[in-house]
Structures are given as C-alpha cells and as structure tokens.
Amino acid sequence: MKKKILSSLTAVAIATSVISTPGIPLNPVKVEAAQDALKPTYETRSEIPDEFKWKLDHIYETKAAWEADVKKVEQMANDFTAHQGKISKSQDSLVKALNSYSDLMRLTDKVYVYANMSFDVNSTNPDLQELADKAGNVLTLVSEKTSWFAPEVAAMQANKLEKYLKSDEMKPYAMFVGDIIREKEHTLSTELEKLLAQISPLSSNPEDVYGALMTNIKFPMIKDETGKDIQLSRSNFISYMESENRNVRKAAFEGFYSTMEKYQDTFAQTISGNVKAHNINANVRNYDSALEASLSANNVPVEVYDNLVKTVNDNLPLLHRYMELKKKLLEVDELHMYDIYTPIVDYQADYIPYSKAKEMVKNGLKPLGPEVQSIIDKSFNEGWVDVYSTPDKRSGAYQWGAYDTHPYMLLNYQGTLDDTYTIAHEVGHALQSHYTNAKQPYMTSNYPIFTAEVASTLNEALMFKEMYNNAKTKEEKLYLLNQYLENFRGTLFRQTQFAEFEKAIHDMDKAGESLNAEALKKLYRDINAKYYGKTMISDEEIAMEWARVPHFYYNFYVYQYATSFAASQALSKQVMEEGDVAVKRITENFLSAGSSDAPLEVLKAAGVDMSTAKPIEDAMKVFEQTLDEMEKLLEE
C-alpha cells in the first residue's frame, strides 16, 4: 500500500485527516507453515543488521536538521498568510502565492514523512512518539494557515482564472487550480475553512482510539499443530487460519473473534464516530453523500463505485462455484469461515529467504524491461527497504516517501509466498513514485490511491504469470492457480464486499439509524452470507470481522483495491501481448503521470477505461478461466 499525506490532497480537501496504512494482509495466500528454524527473528531493532533496515538518514542526518526544517515550516506557514486578500490582484500575485504554497507543502511532506517513518519502526520509543506528535501539530498548523487559500482562489472571477491558466508560469498549477474550480460549490467561506482545519484533528480520534484498542487487546492462548500453547495475536492470526489442522484454525477463528466481541460496543462507537464525521463533512460541504465527497476529491464519479458493486454482485455465482470447489477439495461436510484461508492444494511451500524473494520479484518483473530492473536493484541495495519485524514495529506493509526523498518500503517479511508478492506490490508503488517524481513538478507529483494500487497489483499479476509459465509440476501449477484465485477472492470480491458494507453503514447513519454493535454485526453477516453463498456456513463469529478491518476508517478507501485489481489485469495482459510498446505506454502515460490529469483519464491513456464496467467484467472472465483451468487440471 502507498501511504498518503495531507499535502498531496487538493486544497479543498485540506481539512481531511491523514490516511494511514492497513495493519492486516489484504490478499492472504495459503502456504505451508514456514520453517521456523530458518526465520530470522528479532526482539529489538538494534539486533537487525543494517542491510535490512531503511536509511532515514538519507532524509535527515540528524534530529537537529529535522528540527531546523520544522521551524522553517512553521515560519513559512505563518508567512503564507501575507498573501491573503492579495491573490486576485494580478497573475503575478497568484503565482507568488502558489509558489509559496508549493514550497511550504513540499517541506511539510518531508518533515512529516521522516517523523512518522521513524516512529513506525520503533513505536515504543517515547522520543519518536514525541517526534510524530510534533509533526502532527505542524501539519495542523499548516492546515490552519492555508485554509483561506482555496476559498479565495475559488472566489476569483472565472474568466480571469482561465486567462491566467494559459500562461507558462501557471502550468505546474493547472490541475490544482482546476480542482479548486471544479469543487467550488463545495468550498466554504474562509472562516469556516479555517474552523474545519482547526478541528480536523478530532476527525482522526475514532481511528486513533481504534488503533490503541487493537494494540492493547490480548488474545487467548491456543494450541498449535504440535499441541504447544501459543499466544494468538493480530500478527499471527492469519498464519493460524492457514493451518492444515482444522482444530487449530477453528481455535484461532473463535478465539480471535470472541475476544473482539467483548469490546464490540467500543468498536461500534469508534466506527460510528468515524462515519458521522464523514457524513457531517459531506453535509457541510454540500455533497449528496459521504461517498460523493470522498470520490470527488480524486475526481472519480460515484458511478465507478456503483458499477463495481453491481458487477461483482452479478458475478457472485463464480465465487460460490469456487467455494464449492474448496469444500470438495477439503473433504469437509460443512465449509466454515475458518476454512477460507487454508490450502486446498497439497503442495509444500518452503520458507523463502529474503535474498531468494528479491530474485523472484526481479524475475517476475522482467517484462517491464531493463530500466525497471535497475531501479529495483537500487531499491534493494541502497536503503529503500525495511525488511524484518520487531514487536514494536508497525504491522503490514507500505511504500512512502516525499518528493525530495527516494521511495521507502516498509515490510514485515516472514518468508511466505504472500510476503514475496508483497515485495512486488510495494515495488510497484516505489516505481510509480520514482517515475512521477522524476517527471512531474511537485504539485502534480502525488497520485490518488485509485491509480496507485494499479501499479502495485500490476506487479503481482506479472509475478503470477512468470511463476505459472515456469511451473514444472502439476502440483505447483495447481498451487499457483489456487493462489491466483485467492488474489481474486481477497481483492476483487472481498474488497468489494467491504465497499458494500462501508456504503451501507454511511447510508444507515445518514438515515438516522443507530450503528450499534448488534446492527453492525447483522449487516456484516448478511452481506458476508450473500458473497460466499449457500455452500459456506456463515458462522456467528464472522459477524465481528468488520471490527478487524482498519480500512473502514479510511473514508471509502477499499473499493480502489478492487477497481485497481481489475485495471491491472487488463494492463498485465497488454504487457504480455504487446511487450515494449505496452511498457512504454504504461511508463510514460501512467507511472509518470502523477496527478497531471484525472485518474480515469490517466488510466485511459495507459490502455484501460475504468469509466465502464468492462474492466470488471473482463477480470471476472479471467477469474472464470483460471477456475476452469484448475478444475481441468484436477481432473487429469
């Protein structure tokens, strides 16, 4: 996943909270338990060899250097108010303000990224907590001091702005100003924008409480495959859900969700507060819905969301068919939700050392050409990646960085095939950041998640094709086919399931209905039962799964995983069929585009039209063909 920060948003959305990275795997892949004896394990960060840690001194060599830039940001933010009331006087006045705004946001990115990345790998360090808190305070200050800017630009005469935008000096700001004009009816007065900026930290409170609660919940002890007592946790939950021993995965499933249920009312309060904040923001800004408000910030029509949900619903019989195959291969009388992650193909997947995983990624991405290979080498060898986990390191994975840094990738590598795919995924984000920063000016250097996740899942698709083409045995092919089907289930189907739930809870709150724990559990269980069909027993415990998903605090975020996955299937097909022609088109028109155009237009230039349901339908055909191939192999 790519992390996103405040200054990458348009000015009209500047009061929104920072989006943070998920803490659970998005596409769990079923593999045999890794060989524990081969796993490097570290209790503290100091134990990890430097070659496996990212080099944040590439950003700031010392804390004093960071503090100097913090003071500079504070001064720049205060100085920026000098432009207030003057930008409409002349083109030169507007350009000067835009230049100042760009410089301010560019440096804000840098200080914010450094502080939070430092904290993410050592979250029990109070000094780093203080650093992150200070960065957050600076971000709030910047929001306050720039809150007047969008309303004042929006208030300028349209014909004057259009004339200004034709000049060379305004070219770097054309999209930025264009977005302000596009969102003019949703931009409030200077006073209200300032007020929203001041109270914006409150909107992140539900997510903060949720994160603190999840960090402090202690899950029960369960017995592993050998009968040994082990501590169940957020980080090992999925690995035990993948166990071939049904008793182990059932114990993990029931232990995890029964514990979550003890806190159901608190979870309901946090998610309800989050939803209310979204709905209030949409109402204040004159949007028809929170969904429209969220998508409008990235210039994505609501129809894209609706097309996704409808098309996936139309194709649910394919997922039901896959569940029937799972039940048959697992040889169970009843298929339960705790069976969903377990391998259905008898294939030994050994622990993959990190060195081998890197080579697998490079081989999988060879179709993207030698230039990409050289960038990957650089990322692996020059301190871009933080590899191994410690108890106080943030879970999950992400790619982040600022315009004036190289991309960084956070991993929690455990040696599974899923971890290898995660490397390819984050490398996709890193490539997009690298190319965009090289080609785009700062103001169009960032890119929305809608396009970001296409780059990452494109890499995953190419990885699968390379591995499947080189598979030597029937068992290996079956294993890879199953893994690919699981990617579809975990991304295209599951993330759309999440998207449907997310829209429903916002609609419920808007209609005045209570988002209490029982209502949330019923809604989630009903949607889950619809997606998995009659073959699957929708266990009572699964009704609490909504509380495990941090994505629901990210304001209509998850649908983009599904749309991106569909788009990447189309682009990977073009790469394999067209070769260098497709690679050049994708690199120049997509990976290097940033936010220089609307995301739908960027993808259209790359070769896929997400304004229609066709990419989703085509992806469903790939899912069906993969399912056909697996069933055919099983019959041989």
Q: Which residues are catalytic?
A: 426
Q: Do 444 and 171 contact (CB within 8 A), yes or no?
A: no
The amino acid at residue 139 is L
- Stated as kind and residue range, the H or E segment containing 537 is strand 536-537
Partners of 19 in beta bridges:
4
Measuring CA to CA, which residue among 373, 448, 380, 436 is closest to residue 53? 380
- What is the rounded distance in angstroms from the CA atom of residue 193 to the CA atom of residue 180? 13
CA angle at residue 237 from 408 to 540, to 5 degrees? 130
- What is the rounded distance in angstroms from the CA atom of residue 47 to the CA atom of residue 70? 31
CA angle at residue 391 from 390 to 393, to 5 degrees? 65
The amino acid at residue 206 is P
Q: Do 42 and 385 contact (CB within 8 A), yes or no?
A: no
Measuring CA to CA, which residue among 142, 209, 98, 151 is closest to residue 5? 142
Calculate the dihedral angle through the C-alpha atoms of 604, 563, 593, 452, rounding to the nearest 10 degrees.
-170
- What is the rounded distance in angstroms from the CA atom of residue 442 to the CA atom of residue 445? 5
Residues 6+ apart with CB under 8 A from 28: 238, 241, 242, 341, 418, 486, 490
Partners of 526 in beta bridges:
none
Measuring CA to CA, which residue among 351, 372, 354, 352 is closest to residue 362? 372
- What is the rounded distance in angstroms from the CA atom of residue 498 to the CA atom of residue 496? 5
- What is the rounded distance in angstroms from the CA atom of residue 186 to the CA atom of residue 168? 28
| Helix extents (H) in 541-579 | 559-578
- Stated as kind and residue range, the H or E segment containing 408 is strand 408-410
SS (H, E, C) 570-601: HHHHHHHHHCHHHHHHHHHHHHCCCCCCCHHH
- Stated as kind and residue range, the H or E segment containing 398 is strand 398-400
CA angle at residue 101 from 95 to 295, to 5 degrees? 105
- What is the rounded distance in angstroms from the CA atom of residue 531 to the CA atom of residue 84? 52
